[in-house]
């Protein structure tokens, strides 16, 4: 039921914004003007909650979670805010009465792509859940001027285009020109005696950059809470260096300004791969220093003495990107605020907790000692001092085990000395967690084994989750309506209620409705694929989808091997009993990752050949949906029927796309990796297509000696597939194009595609059989959704609150739903 007064209010506020904020009359307004005007109208309602929330936290002096993350992949704000405010209907009505289309206005928004993939999106889901659970929170991150690049496809290859997300204005941020902090960089340190005769150290930086806060409100779901995400932008301390100016060095002065602003210019587009680039270390230090100075500022509004800092704040390190914060808090407490080392260390350790998001060696951050010391000379000294005390403790606990101290050291001594950020984070935190049960076990057994020997009580698991508001209620309005009709409207904030759908899996009429929803969503996605990829696909075919960053360990190329095998089989057996299938891919490759870019080309080449083949027409289609991001994923999850989660076991820390698919009723074909393990347990193994080697089997195979070429020689299907790749049949006769892939698979095959190829094919054959029985498939689909309650990010956040942060909800005073 739309609220008439609210419709009128939105119309009035919209017109007012168009006039007063944008200076436009309706006939002159562009689509972007309409988007801005509606956003400003909605912002009033957000602001009211934001101010009240701030007031409540202030009055209660609430314990606060500080979520530090170099990435927040928020996705478009307007539609999500309308959903959380409960104003979607009213806004739609208001726009239509003014002669506009709400969907067209929503489509205008450029998303803030301030993250790469799962890690950044997880941070955004967690901010959403923290607000929904009414936990006092400060999110801190970086306001990149250019977020993750836009992906274009030319001739089947990825081309990167800069993401100018701020070009048309951003109505969701409030700049705080008075919340600014100086961030020193470079230079040297010197000792001195303070007034009390104590030895102190002073950092004499080479340059100073200024951080300015930009605030973004994060709404809870219909509860009056709006938390704060504060993103830092780097500026020059003076826009002109007057001395240089007076000496006639105008360009030198401008250079310095440009240099400073560079720090927050662009997001590093590498997912799970780090290069020891100085600018990246500067970015990390910059935002963490601003965040910690801000926390101290807020704390000291009430109390000068910092001895209970850890009682006021619980800081979460989202991977090691903010781990330099451990050394920075020590510097601020000891050097700037004059606290003794031991007390400062106690506070630091009790404040921080660390989440690890990967076991991949190429993703573990290390900084060469020389570079670290050149950028952060004082922090290098602090790291050395932390390490000296830490290794003393290690030697006391494990006397005579010299190699243990070397393994645990914050400094890696081989191949040029480096600072190991995962070690700094582990030593400086009182809790360390992985992001899925399997991943947390592997952390303890492998990557952080020595730390686990030392402090088993620090370790825990918190399995990731995703917000059902954005990924179910907003993305899939048809399914949301059906679910609400069946079990009421409480599920978006209590996802376990989806269990109420279980009995309906046996209800034929309900199944028919469920199928109708999926069919309509597939028709929508078919339209998108046609428009964006130029490929026509049949909404009655099986929609088989793999969308995520392109990476060898995620094995999009294994999926392609299956597509080729299926195509060859359909050509051979014209009457094969297989459902028509549409295989969809999407995802970005890091610009410098050649193999990943070749994998994108591979998908396009195979698609071109398969889609043009009259023999298999109507039975198999392949398409790559360009520019996968939060906005573009919205029509994908609701339409998917088969979710491809096929990483090499032990490599995907958790995965979160796997959860978004299953929540929307897709069945998973997957390995025992990351959260797949727990998803399978939750939905029931009979409702999940499992294949592939386990972590243990892979270890055993490697120990025996893995020989992929033997598999090739022993399997005619595999041979045909790889031969087609090698002889140019899929690349217009160019036999060299996919050579690197074929050579890798027949050589080392580091991601074990050939070992998993047969089992994958067999599992895909089971998928075919299951899909040919629509009633059976629909039952499984309903049960998947019904049993995904525990993968709400609300459950994850509740666990962090209880086991890591020890915080409790603070309801907002006077927060009825009136606006
Ligand atoms: C990623 C993992 C994913 C996981 C997300 C969120 C990094 C370093 N890690 O499996 O690869 O779902 O983090 O935890 O990006």
265 a catalytic residue = no
Distance in angstroms (rounded) separating the CA atoms of residues 575 and 565: 16
Mean pLDDT, the chain, integer: 96
438: nearest Cα among 429, 447, 430: 447
183 lines ligand 1 (CB under 6 A): no
Distance in angstroms (rounded) separating the CA atoms of residues 678 and 355: 19
271 lines ligand 1 (CB under 6 A): yes
Q: What does the pLDDT look like over 464-505, one tens digit per residue?
A: 999 999 999 999 999 999 999 999 999 999 999 999 999 999
789 lines ligand 1 (CB under 6 A): no
Which of 132, 225, 656, 785 does the annotation list as catalytic?
Answer: 656
The helix/strand/coil state of 340 is: coil
461 lines ligand 1 (CB under 6 A): no
**Segment among 53-67, 157-171, 273-287, 699-713 with least mean pLDDT:** 273-287
Distance in angstroms (rounded) separating the CA atoms of residues 552 and 547: 14
Residue 316: strand pairing partners? 67, 353
Distance in angstroms (rounded) separating the CA atoms of residues 540 and 463: 35
601 a catalytic residue = no
Structural contact between residues 431 and 458, judged by C-beta atoms closer than 8 angstroms: yes
* Displacement of CA 162 from its chain's centroid (Å): 20
**Segment among 24-33, 121-130, 246-255, 662-671 with least mean pLDDT:** 246-255
**Segment among 93-97, 343-347, 363-367 with least mean pLDDT:** 363-367
Judged against a pLDDT cut of 70, whether residue 520 lies above it is answered with yes
Distance in angstroms (rounded) separating the CA atoms of residues 703 and 700: 5
129 lines ligand 1 (CB under 6 A): no
Residue 113: strand pairing partners? 73
Distance in angstroms (rounded) separating the CA atoms of residues 343 and 357: 30
Ligand 1 centre distance from Cα of residue 73 (Å): 13
Ligand 1 centre distance from Cα of residue 398 (Å): 33
118 lines ligand 1 (CB under 6 A): yes
Extract the tokens encoding 816.
């009825």
Which of 34, 548, 621, 680 does the annotation list as catalytic?
Answer: 548
Angle formed by the axes of helices 4-16 and 31-60, to 10°? 110
Ligand 1 centre distance from Cα of residue 548 (Å): 11
Distance in angstroms (rounded) separating the CA atoms of residues 655 and 664: 16
90 lines ligand 1 (CB under 6 A): no
Return the H-helix or E-strand segment holding 207: strand 207-219
Relative to the CA of 122, which ligand 1 atom is closest?
6
Relative to the CA of 121, which ligand 1 atom is closest?
6
658 lines ligand 1 (CB under 6 A): no
Q: How confident is the model at residue 244 (pLDDT cuts 50, 70, 90)?
A: low
Structural contact between residues 794 and 129, judged by C-beta atoms closer than 8 angstroms: yes
Residue with tokens 């929307």: 664
674 lines ligand 1 (CB under 6 A): yes
Ligand 1 centre distance from Cα of residue 574 (Å): 42
357 a catalytic residue = yes
Q: What does the pLDDT look like over 184-216, one tens digit per residue?
A: 999 999 999 999 999 999 999 999 999 999 999
655 lines ligand 1 (CB under 6 A): yes
Nearest CA to ligand 1 atom 6: 119
Nearest CA to ligand 1 atom 3: 655
Pocket test for ligand 1, best of 362, 654, 673 (most atoms within 8 A of CB): 654
Return the H-helix or E-strand segment holding 354: strand 352-355
635 lines ligand 1 (CB under 6 A): no
Ligand 1 centre distance from Cα of residue 401 (Å): 34
Relative to the CA of 118, which ligand 1 atom is closest?
5
Distance in angstroms (rounded) separating the CA atoms of residues 447 and 441: 10
Nearest CA to ligand 1 atom 9: 357
DSSP category for residue 804? I
DSSP category for residue 238? S
Provide the residue count of the chain.
819
Pocket test for ligand 1, best of 123, 356, 435, 657 (most atoms within 8 A of CB): 435
The helix/strand/coil state of 626 is: coil
Judged against a pLDDT cut of 80, whether residue 239 lies above it is answered with no
Relative to the CA of 674, which ligand 1 atom is closest?
10
109 lines ligand 1 (CB under 6 A): no
Relative to the CA of 652, which ligand 1 atom is closest?
10
Ligand 1 centre distance from Cα of residue 639 (Å): 24
User: How many C-beta atoms lie closer than 10 Å to residue 204's C-beta?
Assistant: 12
> φ, ψ for residue 184 (rounded to 5)?
-80, 155
660 a catalytic residue = yes
368 a catalytic residue = no
Ligand 1 centre distance from Cα of residue 431 (Å): 18
Determine whether 362 is exposed, middle or buried from the number of CB atoms within 10 Å of its CB (0-12, 13-18, 19+): exposed
294 lines ligand 1 (CB under 6 A): no
Return the H-helix or E-strand segment holding 544: strand 542-547
Give the residue-averaged pLDDT of 401-423: 95
DSSP category for residue 146? B
Pocket test for ligand 1, best of 70, 73, 118 (most atoms within 8 A of CB): 118
Distance in angstroms (rounded) separating the CA atoms of residues 675 and 653: 8
Ligand 1 centre distance from Cα of residue 424 (Å): 20
464 lines ligand 1 (CB under 6 A): yes
Pairing of strands 432-434, 459-461: parallel
Ligand 1 centre distance from Cα of residue 799 (Å): 18
Cα distances (angstroms) measured from residue 608 to each of 37, 601, 731, 736: 43, 11, 9, 18
Which of 230, 549, 581, 779 does the annotation list as catalytic?
Answer: 549
Distance in angstroms (rounded) separating the CA atoms of residues 209 and 184: 6
Which of 121, 143, 357, 680 does the annotation list as catalytic?
Answer: 357
Ligand 1 centre distance from Cα of residue 437 (Å): 14
DSSP category for residue 21? I
549 a catalytic residue = yes
Q: How confident is the model at residue 545 (pLDDT cuts 50, 70, 90)?
A: very high
Distance in angstroms (rounded) separating the CA atoms of residues 42 and 46: 7
Evaluated on CA atoms 514, 519, 524, 529, the torsion sign reads positive
793 lines ligand 1 (CB under 6 A): no
Ligand 1 centre distance from Cα of residue 357 (Å): 5
Judged against a pLDDT cut of 50, whether residue 819 lies above it is answered with no
Determine whether 388 is exposed, middle or buried from the number of CB atoms within 10 Å of its CB (0-12, 13-18, 19+): exposed
Distance in angstroms (rounded) separating the CA atoms of residues 174 and 54: 15
429 lines ligand 1 (CB under 6 A): no
Which of 660, 680, 787, 790 does the annotation list as catalytic?
Answer: 660
Three-state helix/strand/coil letters over 699-735: HHHHHHCCCHHHHHHHCHHHHHHHHHHHCCCCCCCCC
Alpha helices in 534-589, H assignment, sequence order = 556-572
The 10 Å CB-count burial string (b at 16+, else e) for 65-80 is bbbbbbbbbbbbbbbb
Q: What is the pLDDT of residue 526?
A: 98
> φ, ψ for residue 623 (rounded to 5)?
-150, 150
Distance in angstroms (rounded) separating the CA atoms of residues 165 and 41: 21
Cα distances (angstroms) measured from residue 288 to each of 312, 315, 377: 18, 11, 16
708 lines ligand 1 (CB under 6 A): no
CA-based Rg of the chain, rounded to a whole angstrom? Answer: 27
475: nearest Cα among 329, 615, 661, 605: 661
Q: What is the pLDDT of residue 817?
A: 47
Structural contact between residues 256 and 241, judged by C-beta atoms closer than 8 angstroms: yes
Evaluated on CA atoms 219, 224, 227, 228, the torsion sign reads positive
The 10 Å CB-count burial string (b at 16+, else e) for 577-601 is ebbbbbbbbbbbbbeebeebbbbbb
Judged against a pLDDT cut of 80, whether residue 818 lies above it is answered with no
Ligand 1 centre distance from Cα of residue 654 (Å): 6
Q: What does the pLDDT look like over 306-334, one tens digit per residue?
A: 999 999 999 999 999 999 999 999 999 99
Which of 554, 562, 619, 680 does the annotation list as catalytic?
Answer: 554
Distance in angstroms (rounded) separating the CA atoms of residues 140 and 68: 5
Q: What does the pLDDT look like over 764-787, one tens digit per residue?
A: 999 999 999 999 999 999 999 999
Q: What is the pLDDT of residue 813?
A: 78
438 lines ligand 1 (CB under 6 A): no
Percentage of the chain lying above the pLDDT 90 cut:
94
* Displacement of CA 708 from its chain's centroid (Å): 34
Ligand 1 centre distance from Cα of residue 631 (Å): 20
Give the residue-averaged pLDDT of 171-183: 98
User: How many C-beta atoms lie closer than 10 Å to residue 120's C-beta?
Assistant: 24
Nearest CA to ligand 1 atom 13: 119
219: nearest Cα among 118, 308, 137: 137
Ligand 1 centre distance from Cα of residue 121 (Å): 9
Relative to the CA of 656, which ligand 1 atom is closest?
12
Q: What does the pLDDT look like over 580-602, one tens digit per residue?
A: 999 999 999 999 999 999 999 99
């Amino acid at each position: 039921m739309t609220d008439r007064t609210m419709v009128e209010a939105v119309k009035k506020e919209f017109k007012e914004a168009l006039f007063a904020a944008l200076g436009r009359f309706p006939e002159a307004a562009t689509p972007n003007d309409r988007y801005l005007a509606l956003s400003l109208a909605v912002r009033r309602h957000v602001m009211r909650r934001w101010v009240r929330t701030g007031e409540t936290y202030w009055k209660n002096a609430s314990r606060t979670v500080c979520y530090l993350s170099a990435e927040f992949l928020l996705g478009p704000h307007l539609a999500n805010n309308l959903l959380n405010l409960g104003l979607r209907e009213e806004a739609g009505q208001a726009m239509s009465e003014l002669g506009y289309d709400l969907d067209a206005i929503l489509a205008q928004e450029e998303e803030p792509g301030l993250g790469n993939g799962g890690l950044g999106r997880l941070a955004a889901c967690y901010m959403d859940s923290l607000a929904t659970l009414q936990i006092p929170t400060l999110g801190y991150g970086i306001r990149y001027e250019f977020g993750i690049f836009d992906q274009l496809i030319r001739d089947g290859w990825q081309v990167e285009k800069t993401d100018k997300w701020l070009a048309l204005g951003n109505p969701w941020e409030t700049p705080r020109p008075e919340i600014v902090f100086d961030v020193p960089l470079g230079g040297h340190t010197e000792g001195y005696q303070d007034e009390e005769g104590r030895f102190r150290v002073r950092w004499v930086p080479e340059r100073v950059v200024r951080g300015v806060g930009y605030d973004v409100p994060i709404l809870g779901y219909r509860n009056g809470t709006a938390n704060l995400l504060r993103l830092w932008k780097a500026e020059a301390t003076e826009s002109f260096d007057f001395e240089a100016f007076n000496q006639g060095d105008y360009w030198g002065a401008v250079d310095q300004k440009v240099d400073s602003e560079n720090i927050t210019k662009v997001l590093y587009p590498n997912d799970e791969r780090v290069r020891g680039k100085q600018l990246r270390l500067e970015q990390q230090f910059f935002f963490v220093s601003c965040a910690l100075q801000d926390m101290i500022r807020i704390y000291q509004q009430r109390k000068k003495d910092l001895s209970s800092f850890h009682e006021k704040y619980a800081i979460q390190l989202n991977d090691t990107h903010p781990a330099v914060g451990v050394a920075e808090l020590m510097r601020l407490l000891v050097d700037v605020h004059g606290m003794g080392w031991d007390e400062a260390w106690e506070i630091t350790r009790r404040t921080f907790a660390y989440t690890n998001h990967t076991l991949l060696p190429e993703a573990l951050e290390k900084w060469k000692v020389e570079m670290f010391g050149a950028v952060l000379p004082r922090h290098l000294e602090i790291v050395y001092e932390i390490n000296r005390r830490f290794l003393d403790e290690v030697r006391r606990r494990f006397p005579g085990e010299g190699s243990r101290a070397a393994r645990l050291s914050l400094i890696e001594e081989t191949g040029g000395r480096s600072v190991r950020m995962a070690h700094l984070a582990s030593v400086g935190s009182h809790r360390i967690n992985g992001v899925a049960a399997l991943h947390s076990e592997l952390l303890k057994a492998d990557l952080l084994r020595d730390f686990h020997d030392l402090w088993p009580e620090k370790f825990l698991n918190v399995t990731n989750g995703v917000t059902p508001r954005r990924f179910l209620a907003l993305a899939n309005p048809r399914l949301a309506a059906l679910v609400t009709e069946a079990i009421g409207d409480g599920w978006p904030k209590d996802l376990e209620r989806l269990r109420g759908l279980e009995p309906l899996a046996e209800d034929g009429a309900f199944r028919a409705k469920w199928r109708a929803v999926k069919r309509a969503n597939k028709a929508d996605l078919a339209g998108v694929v046609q428009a964006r990829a130029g490929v026509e696909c049949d909404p009655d075919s099986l929609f088989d989808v793999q969308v995520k960053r392109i990476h060898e360990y995620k094995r999009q190329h294994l999926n392609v091997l299956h597509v080729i095998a299926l195509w060859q089989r359909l050509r051979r057996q014209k009457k094969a009993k297989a459902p028509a299938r549409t295989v969809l891919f999407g995802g970005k490759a890091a610009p410098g990752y050649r193999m990943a870019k070749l994998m994108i080309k591979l998908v396009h080449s195979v698609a071109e050949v398969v889609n043009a083949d009259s023999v298999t027409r109507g039975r198999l289609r392949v398409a790559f949906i360009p520019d996968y991001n939060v906005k573009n994923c919205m029509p994908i999850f609701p339409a998917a029927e088969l979710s491809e989660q096929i990483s090499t076991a032990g490599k995907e820390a958790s995965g979160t796309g796997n959860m978004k698919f299953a929540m929307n009723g897709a069945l998973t074909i997957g390995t025992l990796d990351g959260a797949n393990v727990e998803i399978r347990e939750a939905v029931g193994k009979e409702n999940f297509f499992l294949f592939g080697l386990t972590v243990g089997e892979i270890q055993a195979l490697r120990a025996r000696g893995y020989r992929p070429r033997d598999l090739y020689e022993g399997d005619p299907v595999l041979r045909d597939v790889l031969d087609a790749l090698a002889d140019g049949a899929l690349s217009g006769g160019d036999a060299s194009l996919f050579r690197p892939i074929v050579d890798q698979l027949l050589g080392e095959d580091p991601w074990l595609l050939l070992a998993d190829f047969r089992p994958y094919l067999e599992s895909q054959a089971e998928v075919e059989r299951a899909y040919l029985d629509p009633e059976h498939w629909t039952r499984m689909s309903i049960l998947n959704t019904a049993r995904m309650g525990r993968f709400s990010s609300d459950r994850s956040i509740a666990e962090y609150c209880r086991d890591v942060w020890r915080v409790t909800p603070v309801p907002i005073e006077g927060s009825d739903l009136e606006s």
